[in-house]
Amino acid sequence: MDIIIRESYDEMSVYAAAVIANFVKSKPNCVLGLATGSTPIGTYKELIRMHKEEGLDFSQVKTFNLDEYLGIGIDLSTPYEKDQSYARFMYEELFKHINIKEENIHIPDGKTKEPEKFCKWYEDEIKKAGGIDLQLLGIGGDGHWAFNEPGSSLGSRTRVQALTKQTLDDNYESFYKKAGIKREDMPHFAITMGIGTILEARNILMIANGKKKAGVVAKCLEGPVTSQITASAIQLHSGGITVVLDKDAASELKNLDHYIHVEKMKRSMGMLI
């Protein structure tokens, strides 16, 4: 596991984008797993910059998003802040700025009338695409990956999940409040890839920033593997893992000095970008 600590949110974002860009350059038809939330916005900004200024090419890239609220879907006829679907987020924060093909984008359909059938289809589509090469992830305040709330099995697959009070509070503060949407009108359920689905990605890239995430990041990376902190499943992953943190999010790690030392050593040996 490579744990990379950067001074600021911007530096964290630039590093994470460089990891993604390396995948895209070395395998132009790679399959990316993508995430929503406030954390990846800077990473997507940097990818857009690389596309516009350096010609980073997404024309053959396929993407699968982690999750979507149940009951809502993209509606381009309403202003962005009123449309809280994750499909709209991805369109505004990344897809409309790069040369990805619409048919290569996959996001769970929050409007599906048959969620169970849809979830199975989504899993099948990931398999048909050859599996996910690199999965980008944030971490929720309650330790979740995607919407795998505490108590989700570490073998779980794509399915419908009820959101915790903490997730509703966090997402209300970050997104819904400024849109003038009442907390009680937020969707309380979501379709989410499972932890078992995520662990099948060949590589994992997790990002986190801010003091608010320091405690949960320490539990995820250094605590026991537990379904109470579903992101702790990172410790079970068998492929390449990169965790990029800003210094605030890293501030409660017990072995911080060790991670900084390892990063320096690996960099001096040309093992890191």
Asked if 38 is part of the footprint of ligand PGA (rule: CB under 6 A), the reply reads yes
Any contact of residue 37 with ligand PGA (CB under 6 A)? Answer: yes
Give residue 188's identity as a one-letter amino acid code: H
Judge whether 149 counts as a catalytic residue.
yes
Torsions phi, psi for 38 (to 5 deg) = -75, -30
Could you tell me the smallest distance in angstroms from the CB atom of residue 38 to ligand PGA?
Answer: 4
Nearer to ligand PGA, 44 or 259 (CB): 44
Q: CB of 216 within 8 A of CB of 223?
A: no
Of 194-233, binders to ligand PGA (CB under 6 A) are none
Catalytic residue (choose from 67, 123, 170, 248): 67
Q: Which of 68, 123, 142, 200 is catalytic?
A: 142
Q: Which is nearer to ligand PGA, 27 or 80 (CB)?
A: 80
- Binds ligand PGA by CB under 6 A, chosen from 33, 140, 143, 194: 140
* Nearer to ligand PGA among residue 33 and residue 138 (C-beta): 138
Residue numbers 162-201 binding ligand PGA by CB under 6 A: 174
**Among the options 68, 83, 93, 144, which is catalytic?**
144
- How is the chain classified by DSSP, letter by letter? -EEEEESSHHHHHHHHHHHHHHHHHH-TT-EEEE--SSTTHHHHHHHHHHHHHH----TT-EEEESEEETT----TTS-GGG---HHHHHHHHTGGGS---GGGEE---TT-S-HHHHHHHHHHHHHHTT--SEEEE---TTS-BTTB-TT--TT--SEEEEPPHHHHHHHIIIIIGGGT--GGGS--EEEE--HHHHHTSSEEEEEE-SGGGHHHHHHHHHS--BTTBGGGGGGG--SEEEEEEETTTTTT-TTHHHHHHHHHHHHHTT---
Site for ligand PGA in 100-139 (CB under 6 A): 138-139
Active-site residue 237, yes or no? no
d(CA 266, CA 206): 19
Closer to ligand PGA by Cβ: residue 162 or 271: 162
Stretch of 12-20, 34-42, 54-62, 76-84 lying at the interface with ligand PGA (CB under 6 A): 34-42
We find the least distance from the C-beta atom of residue 117 to ligand PGA, in angstroms, to be 26
Task: Answer yes or no: 53 catalytic.
Answer: no
Residue closer to ligand PGA (CB basis): 33 or 37: 37
Active site residue 51: no
Binding site for ligand PGA (CB under 6 A): 37-39, 138-140, 174
* Catalytic residue ranges: 67, 142, 144, 149
